């Protein structure tokens, strides 16, 4: 599974200049999203599945569409250099830039259960991010923080997570890559260029039975139907 590239402030910029460029990057990404996303048939790209934001096309068409985002990617890579240098690092989804993959031979669509997790040190911060709870649940959380001033509450939200597993062809070695590439795409969208349009396979695994995600936390102290709230477990130091 790829990881988000780490934000790195460029050494050739002052802190103020870097923050201004980050702000410009966010604005640029929003403008590009509004202007060019989603791609259309005129871009030479077609839906792989109309229910999912995945498009495929020949290499030339994907490269042409990719060029529309070039300035944003160039600027983003200044702050997230790992995404430009490492195969298993991607730009944060919050930038809303589409993911591009080339020389894809096989693409499998998967659906899994997953959870989002947030940690809080106050009821006010928790409810501002996770919504309202019943008065008796808020009281329970207030009592926890009164009794545990340094304690934390963790919130979990279950959701359906869509991912793709892609197999690619290595044009340098002139043979298929040994490793596949798994990525989440629902927020950003995914644009793939087939290595050979006559030998490009899509496998839909979404009908497989979903397994519940593993959760070490039990017995929530609050539940608003979307988020479940638990008392965060404290790590016990191992004796030396």
Range of the domain at 122: 45-68+96-240
Give a yes or no: residue 131 inside a domain: yes
Give a yes or no: residue 117 inside a domain: yes
- pTM attached to this predicted model: 0.79
209-217 long-range contacts (CB < 8 A, ≥24 apart) are: 210/111, 210/112, 210/113, 210/160, 211/112, 211/113, 212/113, 213/112, 213/113, 213/114, 213/115, 213/158, 215/115, 215/156, 217/154, 217/156
**169-187 confidence digits (pLDDT tens):** 999 899 999 889 889 899 9
Calculate what percentage of the chain has a pLDDT beyond 90. Answer: 74
CB-facing half-sphere around the CA of 18: CA atoms within 13 A: 13
Instruction: Give the burial class of 202: count Cβ atoms within 10 A of its Cβ; 0-12 exposed, 13-18 middle, 19 or more buried.
Output: middle
Helix (H, G, I), strand (E, B) or coil at 81: coil
Give a yes or no: residue 20 inside a domain: no
The band of 61, judged by pLDDT with boundaries at 50, 70 and 90, is very high
Distance CA 200, CA 58 (A): 11
The band of 109, judged by pLDDT with boundaries at 50, 70 and 90, is very high
Give a yes or no: residue 156 inside a domain: yes
Give a yes or no: residue 32 inside a domain: no
pLDDT for res 1: 62
Provide the number of structural domains found in the chain: 1
pLDDT for res 2: 67
Give a yes or no: residue 141 inside a domain: yes
Enumerate the H helices of the chain as residue ranges: 15-36, 59-67, 70-79, 82-85, 123-130, 135-147
Q: What is the mean pLDDT of residues 108-114?
A: 88
Q: Are 93 and 136 in contact (CB under 8 A)?
A: no
Instruction: Give the burial class of 62: count Cβ atoms within 10 A of its Cβ; 0-12 exposed, 13-18 middle, 19 or more buried.
Output: buried
Give a yes or no: residue 30 inside a domain: no
């Amino acid at each position: 599974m790829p990881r988000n590239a780490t934000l790195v402030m460029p050494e050739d910029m002052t802190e103020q200049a870097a923050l201004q460029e980050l702000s410009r990057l966010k604005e640029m990404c929003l403008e590009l999203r509004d202007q060019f996303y989603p791609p259309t048939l005129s871009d030479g790209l077609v839906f792989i599945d109309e229910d999912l934001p995945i498009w495929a096309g020949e290499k030339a068409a994907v490269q042409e569409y990719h060029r529309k985002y070039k300035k944003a990617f160039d600027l983003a890579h200044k702050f997230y250099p790992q995404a430009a240098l490492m195969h298993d690092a991607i730009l944060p989804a919050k930038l809303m830039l589409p993911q591009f993959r080339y020389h894809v031979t096989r693409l499998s669509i998967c659906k899994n259960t997953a959870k989002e997790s947030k940690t809080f040190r106050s009821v006010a911060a928790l409810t501002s991010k996770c919504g309202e709870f019943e008065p008796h649940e808020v009281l329970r959380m207030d009592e926890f923080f009164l009794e545990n001033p340094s304690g934390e509450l963790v919130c979990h939200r279950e959701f359906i997570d869509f991912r793709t597993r892609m197999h690619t062809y290595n044009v340098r070695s002139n043979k298929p890559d040994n490793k596949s590439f798994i990525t989440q795409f629902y927020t950003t969208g995914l644009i793939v260029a087939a290595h050979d349009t006559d030998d490009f396979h899509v496998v839909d695994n979404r009908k497989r039975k979903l397994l519940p995600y593993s959760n070490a936390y039990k017995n929530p102290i609050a539940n608003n139907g979307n988020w479940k709230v638990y008392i965060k477990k404290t790590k016990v130091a191992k004796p030396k």
